[in-house]
Amino acid sequence: MKHVIQILLFTPFILFAQDQDRKIEFPDIPGYLTLVADLHQHTVFSDGSVWPDIRVREAIFDGVDVISLTEHIEYQPHKEDIPHPDRNRSYEVAREYAEGKDLIVINGAEITRSMPPGHANAIFITDANKLILDDPVEVFREAKRQGAFTFWNHPNWTAQRKNGISQLTDMHRQLISEELLDGIEVVNETTYSDEALTIAQDNGLTVMATSDIHGLVDWLFKIPDGGHRPVTLIFAKQRTESSIKEALEAGRTVAWYKNNLIGNADNIQPLIESSLKLREAKYRQNTEVLRVVINNNSDARFLLRNLSDFTFHENSDLVEVLPQGETAIQVKTRTILKNPELSFEVLNATIAPGKHPTLKYNIEVEQ
Average pLDDT over the chain reads: 94
Please determine, for residue 6, whether its predicted confidence score (pLDDT) is greater than 80: no
User: How does residue 20 score in pLDDT terms, banded at 50, 70 and 90?
Assistant: low
Helices (H), the chain: 52-61, 89-98, 138-145, 170-177, 194-203, 217-220, 241-250, 265-275
Compare 149 and 4 and report the one with higher pLDDT. 149
Backbone angles phi, psi at 160, to 5 degrees: -120, -15
228-233 average pLDDT score: 98
Per-residue pLDDT at 21 = 77
Please determine, for residue 63, whether its predicted confidence score (pLDDT) is greater than 70: yes
CATH of segment(s) 7-263: 3.20.20.140
Full-model pTM: 0.93
Please determine, for residue 208, whether its predicted confidence score (pLDDT) is greater than 50: yes
CB atoms within 10 A of CB 140: 25
Euclidean distance between CA atoms 355 and 347, whole angstroms? 9
CATH of segment(s) 276-362: 2.60.40
Judged by DSSP in three states, 328 sits in strand
Of 12-16, 47-51, 77-81, the poorest mean pLDDT is in 12-16
CB atoms within 10 A of CB 210: 27
266-280 average pLDDT score: 97
CATH 3.20.20.140 placement within the chain: 7-263
112-123 average pLDDT score: 98
Per-residue pLDDT at 367 = 78
Among 329, 281, 284, 280, smallest CA distance to 302 is for 329
CATH 2.60.40 placement within the chain: 276-362
- Digit-coded pLDDT (tens) for 130-179: 999 999 999 999 999 999 999 999 999 999 999 999 999 999 999 999 99
